[in-house]
């Protein structure tokens, strides 16, 4: 019987035939730690007896959640991590480069067929490049840093077949929100998702990253797009790798198969307080919002800002809405800058910040007061995620966020 992508990746790493359900100790090609979960992993590694990391070149360190340090304790964590990087010979991207899930692919630290772990749940994002990547906790990370391998249970796969062409102002975020709504917040727990079909083949790498990023919002362990020419083009100049075919065999066993015609998808929005509370934007249109956040590892790329700028046109953002824009990385920031979009956004009334996680997780800045409503292009709308537990977070595409920021109320982007 044939194999799924996940089974193939584990078979290649473990040098034996691996099947869904098998528990294996597998070597990893990369391990990412950031300023929130890294300190704990470093401390736990010391508790495990310390010593040298398995391979400093395979450890990726950066700071993105609380930067520039927003508290003395954050600053202390940064100092502690810098010291660890120096002692161990790990390259630290520090506060300069941006959000982990943008920086790791951008710096060529992931390639198709890799197994990558990160002490961050959205590590599944690198599936956009055909890797098996997954989020782990700090203690597992400590173990990986020390031994270079980890126990995995090889997941079953849910195959998504998406075809057709998106309507104008509808895109990857609307598709992934549709899937989260259908599959549910725990519908893919312990499983991998494979994103296949024409719609994914047509999708650019940023769009694939948006989708793979949110695999975890269905509980999935990984969300993988089979690598193709777009993947190779993206990786050109970023890392050395010899392209190879990586897709499921025709007779591979899937746990479930689902198909979508993306032409039928209208703009979607996740309403408080669960990511799978997904409705058509039209159902909540007219709802007042206090803040709009365009950014995060889900939708903080150049293409997302272009999308927002197209919706904005020559208009201004509403005076009643605080618009906070945060690109996901320094590279994306520079692209937006060079395209003249920052001037346009600031002129329209937005705040344009340097790359970081920003308001996404209610840590550094842009927190909400009780009763306030935020519309965000990020990936989670849990109660209290962006501030007070009495505030409300809605999730949408950059187009819907921009359209709503113009009118001051939730707005279908096809109508502006």
Partner 1 sequence: MGRSWKFGDDIDTDAIIPGRFLTIYDPKELASHAFEGTRDEFSKEAKSGDVIIAGRNFGCGSSREHAPLALKGAGIGFVVAKSFARIFYRNAINTGVLPIVCEHTDKIPDGSEVSVNLPEAFIEADKKRYPLEPIPEFMMKIVEAGGLVEYAKMRGNK
Should residue 58 be labelled a site residue for partner 1 when binding is judged by CB under 8 A? no
Among 68, 83, 89, 189, binds partner 1 (CB under 8 A): 189
Task: State both tokens at 103.
Answer: 């920086």
Q: With 0-12 CB in 10 A as exposed, 13-18 as middle and 19+ as buried, what is 221?
A: buried
Per the CB < 8 A criterion, the answer to whether 355 and 99 are in contact is: yes
Strand partners, 25: 151
Pinpoint the alpha helices (H) of 186-323. 198-202, 205-213, 229-235, 281-284, 296-299, 302-312
CA distances from residue 356 to 83, 101, 122, 169, 296 in whole angstroms, order as listed: 22, 11, 15, 26, 8
Q: Stretches 51-59, 173-181, 353-361, 402-410: which one binds ligand SF4 (CB under 6 A)?
A: 353-361
Residue partners of 137: CB distance under 8 A and separation at least 6: 37, 119
Task: State both tokens at 401.
Answer: 């966020």
Among 4, 92, 121, 411, binds partner 1 (CB under 8 A): 121
Smallest gap from Cβ 8 to partner 1, in A, equals: 21
Should residue 100 be labelled a site residue for ligand SF4 when binding is judged by CB under 6 A? yes
Should residue 297 be labelled a site residue for ligand SF4 when binding is judged by CB under 6 A? yes
Should residue 185 be labelled a site residue for partner 1 when binding is judged by CB under 8 A? yes
Q: Stretches 4-12, 69-77, 240-248, 256-264: which one binds partner 1 (CB under 8 A)?
A: 69-77
The site for ligand SF4, by CB under 6 A, has a size of: 14
Residue 63's closest CA among 356, 300, 299, 363? 356
Distance from C-alpha of 225 to C-alpha of 47, rounded to nearest angstrom: 38
Should residue 219 be labelled a site residue for partner 1 when binding is judged by CB under 8 A? yes
Whole-number CA gyration radius for the chain: 20
307 makes contact, choosing from partner 1, ligand SF4, none, with CB < 5 to 8 Å by partner type, with none
Should residue 190 be labelled a site residue for partner 1 when binding is judged by CB under 8 A? yes
Note if the bond before 301 is cis, omega within 30 degrees: no
372 makes contact, choosing from ligand SF4, partner 1, none, with CB < 5 to 8 Å by partner type, with none
Among 13, 65, 173, 268, binds partner 1 (CB under 8 A): 65
* Residues forming the site for ligand SF4 (CB under 6 A): 64-65, 99-101, 120, 122, 296-297, 357, 360-361, 378-379
* Residues forming the site for partner 1 (CB under 8 A): 23, 36-37, 39-40, 43-44, 47-49, 51, 65-66, 71, 73-74, 76-77, 118-121, 123, 135-140, 142-143, 146-147, 151, 153, 185-186, 189-190, 219, 221, 274, 361-363, 380, 382-385, 388-390
């Amino acid at each position: 019987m044939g194999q799924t992508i996940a089974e193939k990746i584990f078979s290649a790493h473990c040098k034996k035939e691996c099947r869904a359900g098998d528990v294996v100790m597998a070597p990893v090609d990369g391990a990412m730690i950031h300023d929130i979960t890294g300190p704990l992993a470093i401390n736990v590694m010391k508790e495990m007896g310390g010593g040298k990391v398995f391979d400093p070149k395979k450890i990726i360190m950066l700071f993105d959640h609380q930067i520039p340090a927003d508290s003395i304790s954050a600053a202390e964590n940064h100092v502690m991590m810098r010291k660890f990087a120096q002692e161990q010979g790990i390259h630290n991207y520090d506060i300069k480069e941006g959000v982990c899930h943008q920086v790791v692919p951008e710096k060529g630290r992931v390639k198709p067929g890799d197994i990558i772990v990160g002490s961050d749940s959205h590590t599944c994002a690198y599936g956009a490049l055909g890797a098996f990547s997954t989020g782990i906790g700090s203690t597992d990370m400590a173990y990986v840093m020390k031994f270079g391998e980890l126990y995995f249970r090889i997941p079953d796969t849910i195959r998504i077949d998406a075809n057709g062409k998106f309507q104008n102002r509808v895109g990857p975020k609307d598709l992934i929100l549709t899937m989260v709504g259908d599959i549910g917040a725990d519908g893919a727990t312990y499983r991998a998702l494979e994103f296949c079909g024409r719609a994914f083949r047509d999708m650019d790498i940023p769009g694939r990253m948006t989708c793979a990023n949110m695999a975890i919002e269905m509980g999935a362990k990984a969300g993988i797009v089979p690598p193709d020419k777009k993947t190779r083009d993206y990786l050109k100049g970023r890392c050395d790798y010899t392209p190879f075919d990586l897709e499921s065999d025709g007779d591979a066993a899937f746990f479930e198969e689902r198909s979508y015609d993306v032409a039928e998808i209208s703009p979607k929005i996740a309403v408080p307080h669960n990511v799978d509370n997904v409705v058509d934007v039209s159902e909540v249109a007219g709802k007042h919002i206090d803040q709009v956040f365009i950014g995060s590892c889900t939708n903080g790329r150049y293409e997302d800002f272009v999308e927002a700028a197209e919706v904005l046109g020559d208009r201004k953002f509403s005076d009643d809405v605080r618009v906070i824009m945060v690109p996901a990385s320094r590279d994306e920031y520079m692209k937006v800058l060079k395209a003249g979009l920052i001037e346009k956004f600031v002129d329209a009334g937005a705040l344009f910040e340097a790359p970081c996680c920003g308001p996404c997780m209610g840590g550094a800045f842009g927190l909400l007061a009780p009763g306030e409503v935020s519309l965000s292009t990020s990936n989670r709308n849990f109660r209290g995620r962006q501030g007070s537990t009495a505030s409300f977070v809605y999730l949408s595409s950059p187009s819907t966020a921009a359209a709503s920021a113009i009118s001051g109320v939730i707005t279908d982007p096809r109508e502006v």
